[in-house]
Amino acid sequence: MKIEKVGIAGFEGPGVEIAYIVAGAGYPVAVWDADKQALDRGKNAFNQFVDRAIESGTLEKEKKEQILSQLTSGADVTLLKDVDLVIESLSDDLDLKNKVFSDLSDVVRTDTVLATTTSCHSVTEISNNATNPERALGMHFLKPLLERKLVEVVRALNSSQETIDLVVDFCSKIGKETVVAKDSPGFIVNYFFVPYMNQALNYYDHGLGDKKGLDTALKMGLGYPKGPLSLIDQSGLNDHLHLTSQLYDRLKDPLFAPPPILKRMVDGGKLGKKSGQGFYKYDENS
Amino acid sequence: MSDQEKSVGVLGAGTMGSGIAIVSARAGFKTILVERDKETLDKGLDLIDRFFVKSVKKGKMTPEQKDLVMKKNLIGTLKYEDLTDCEFVIEAVFEDLETKKQVFCQANEVCPPETIFASNTSTLSVTSIAADSGRPDRTIGVHFCLPAQVMKLVEVTRGIQTSDETYDRTMEFGKKLNQVFVTTVETPGFILNHFIVAFNNSCIKAYEEGLASVEDIDKAIKLGLGYPMGPFELLDYIGMDTQLQVSLALFEQVQDQRFWPPPLVRRMVDAGHLGRKTGKGFYEYKGAGMFGA
């Protein structure tokens, strides 16, 4: 079998970006989201991606109609009954993902591949809610999705090799590179990245460096795209708190323990760029 | 490539010393590269020459500029006496407290009182080095990043006794060198090594424990985080002997397990799999040269 038609469950945040990437590669995409308001917001965001891509010259103007016509969306899950692959990109709540995998199994064909985009939960646990766990796995897209080339294809305990191969091949068709990772907490990237970010937050909290010095040194000295504090401002302090808390719960390794400053800032409403302030201040137009 | 008035001394013609000498000579400083071992000196000068040949090829400097830098600005020597005119003396000798103290003591005997001693230490205490340099108030840490000839960043670290004047003159010097000098607190590893040593050890440990292959970890880090090199590519460049040594130095000071070298580090050092310099580390290499142009 080949992947010819793709379904996406969840039309917020990464779901919109994934829909754009997959549609942009020429695949028909069916997006399901039970929340009608989320669907409207998602459609608007999707249109904005298309317009911005045309403005920046990454997309030809003539392709606009084509991309928009490839997208169907709705609040009825049977919309996904014909797809070959469903990419689940709902908010990172384990109970929700477990339930949706079970619900999706009732709708899709037995050979349809179910992929979860979770970054911090057990892919094996989620996969085993599917009727056919050998057709389930993880597809962890790295943020920012349009910029980073990587997808970690996560092998759940019961994923079949055929399913892995199918998804690796699909990723290359949508312009992504892959590594096949074990279903171990944090997979590969976050297993290294989360302790690094926590170390930076603690280092700053302990007064060992000022913001600019820390960010400049790590950016210039190690060639990283951003310093840690400006990076977490961009991605959201609450998202990192969620990620590191979940991983800490599973690993009980102090390197993953949520740094006190992170909790403090999230409690104080300083979530980063999206709330106007994190470690740095942002005005609405930036 | 203007002519600078003052001279700069660089102690040690290894990878780091040669890189710093390139930065200094390229910025127009008369640069005295001192090495006690003739063979190491010649090897260092040869690497520097090959680096500038590449710079000319890439159009970053003209052949005339290269001649000026190599023949006029850069002087290799075995004698500390040649350091007498230096405004700054930067040591980049082996990362060992006694060795560093000893080269500064030797320089202290020949340099005028106003010369500033700058240590390129990455992991040792600037205060400890300064204490026995003969001029603790005029000693400071200036940690260049590897590869020094390519990376713009320098961590500047004051020891307890470093004077304000020494600090101010050092920051001025940074501008003339065309480098970005960032001030750090004197804490083991400063900023960069505090992060990168722990990060690299976590990657080695995870590889050793079977999380993923060397190639997959490198690919995941590069493409997933946008880092310029994967951890194992970087380690092969740094050298496993250096990784062992900096890990032990940091661990000794902070007793934090993140810095303790995973067992594989010692095994690779014992086997001579040090990285690029021995032709084999996590990857295999043919031919060795200097990074960048």
- Strand pairing of A6-9 and A85-88? parallel
Euclidean distance between CA atoms B110 and B107, whole angstroms: 5
pLDDT in tens, B140-190: 999 999 889 999 999 999 999 999 999 999 999 999 999 999 999 999 999
Mean pLDDT across B193-205: 97
| Residue A285: inside a domain | no
Beta-carbon separation of A225 and B184 below 8 A: no
Q: Do residues A22 and A92 both lie within one domain?
A: yes
Mean pLDDT across B264-284: 97
Closest-CA distance, A100 to chain B, in angstroms, reads: 27
Beta-carbon separation of A208 and B185 below 8 A: yes
pLDDT > 90? residue B290? no
Q: Do residues A131 and A229 both lie within one domain?
A: no
Q: Do residues B11 and B36 both lie within one domain?
A: yes
User: Residue B147 has what pLDDT?
Assistant: 87
ipTM value greater than 0.95: no
Q: Do residues A112 and A149 both lie within one domain?
A: yes
pLDDT in tens, A17-30: 999 999 999 999 99
Any idea what the CATH number is for the domain that residue B236 is in? 1.10.1040.10
Q: Do residues B204 and B152 both lie within one domain?
A: no
Average per-residue pLDDT in chain B?
Answer: 95
| Full domain range(s) for residue B203 | 192-278
pLDDT in tens, B119-131: 999 999 999 999 9
Beta-carbon separation of A179 and B220 below 8 A: yes
pLDDT > 90? residue B4? no
Q: Please report which helix (H) or strand (E) contains residue B222, including its range.
A: helix B214-225
Q: Do residues A215 and A89 both lie within one domain?
A: no
User: Residue B227 has what pLDDT?
Assistant: 97
CA angle B41, B45, B46 (to 5 degrees): 115
- Matching residue, tokens 């992929």: A115
How many residues would you count in chain B? 293
Closest-CA distance, B217 to chain A, in angstroms, reads: 7
A221 in contact with chain B, both atoms CB, cutoff 8 A: yes
- Of all residues in chain B, the percent with pLDDT exceeding 90 is 92
Q: Do residues A157 and A209 both lie within one domain?
A: no
Q: Do residues B87 and B154 both lie within one domain?
A: yes
- Phi, psi angles (nearest 5°) of residue A255: -65, -20
| Residue B290: inside a domain | no
pLDDT > 60? residue B1? no
User: Residue B292 has what pLDDT?
Assistant: 64
Mean pLDDT across B205-233: 97
pLDDT > 90? residue B289? no
Q: Do residues A221 and A156 both lie within one domain?
A: no
Any idea what the CATH number is for the domain that residue A143 is in? 3.40.50.720
| Residue A68: inside a domain | yes
Output Rg (C-alpha) for chain A, integer angstroms: 19
User: Residue B126 has what pLDDT?
Assistant: 96
Beta-carbon separation of B182 and A152 below 8 A: no
Beta-carbon separation of B187 and A208 below 8 A: yes
Best B153, B155, B157, B181 member to test A by mutation, with max A CBs in 10 Å, is: B153
Residues of A in contact with B151 (CB under 8 A): 220-221, 223
Counting the structural domains of chain B, the total is 2
| Residue A66: inside a domain | yes
Boundary of a domain, candidates A162, A182, A202: A182
| Full domain range(s) for residue A221 | 191-275
- Matching residue, tokens 């976050």: A190
Counting the structural domains of chain A, the total is 2
Closest-CA distance, A198 to chain B, in angstroms, reads: 11
Which of B31, B18, B41, B156 is closest to B87 using CA atoms? B31
Beta-carbon separation of B212 and A181 below 8 A: yes
| Residue B292: inside a domain | no
Mind listing the pLDDT tens digit of every residue in chain A (286 residues)?
A: 899 999 999 999 999 999 999 999 999 999 999 999 999 999 999 999 999 999 998 888 988 999 999 999 999 999 999 999 999 999 999 999 999 999 999 999 999 999 999 999 999 999 999 999 999 999 999 999 999 999 999 999 999 999 999 999 999 999 999 999 999 999 999 999 999 999 999 999 999 988 999 999 999 999 999 999 999 999 999 999 999 999 999 999 999 999 999 999 999 999 999 999 999 999 865 5
Contact B227, B240 (CB under 8 A): no
The alpha carbon torsion through A274, A275, A278, A282 (nearest 10 deg) reads: 80
Residues of A in contact with B183 (CB under 8 A): 213
Q: Which amino acids of B are annotated catalytic? A: 122, 143, 155, 193
Residues of B in contact with A184 (CB under 8 A): 211
pLDDT in tens, A191-218: 999 999 999 999 999 999 889 999 999 9
Boundary of a domain, candidates B163, B184, B205: B184
Please tell me which of the candidates A148, A149, A220 has its beta carbon nearest to residue B180: A220
CA angle A150, A153, A158 (to 5 degrees): 175
Beta-carbon separation of B182 and A217 below 8 A: yes
pLDDT in tens, B59-117: 999 999 999 999 999 999 999 999 999 999 999 999 899 999 999 999 999 999 999 99
Buried b / exposed e along A57-80 (16+ C-beta atoms within 10 A): eebeeeeeeebeebbebbeebebb
pLDDT in tens, B8-54: 999 999 989 999 999 999 999 999 999 999 999 999 999 999 999 99
Q: Is B129 exposed, middle or buried (CB count within 10 Å of its CB: 0-12, 13-18, 19+)?
A: buried
A214 in contact with chain B, both atoms CB, cutoff 8 A: yes
Q: Which residue of A has its CA nearest to B221?
A: A189
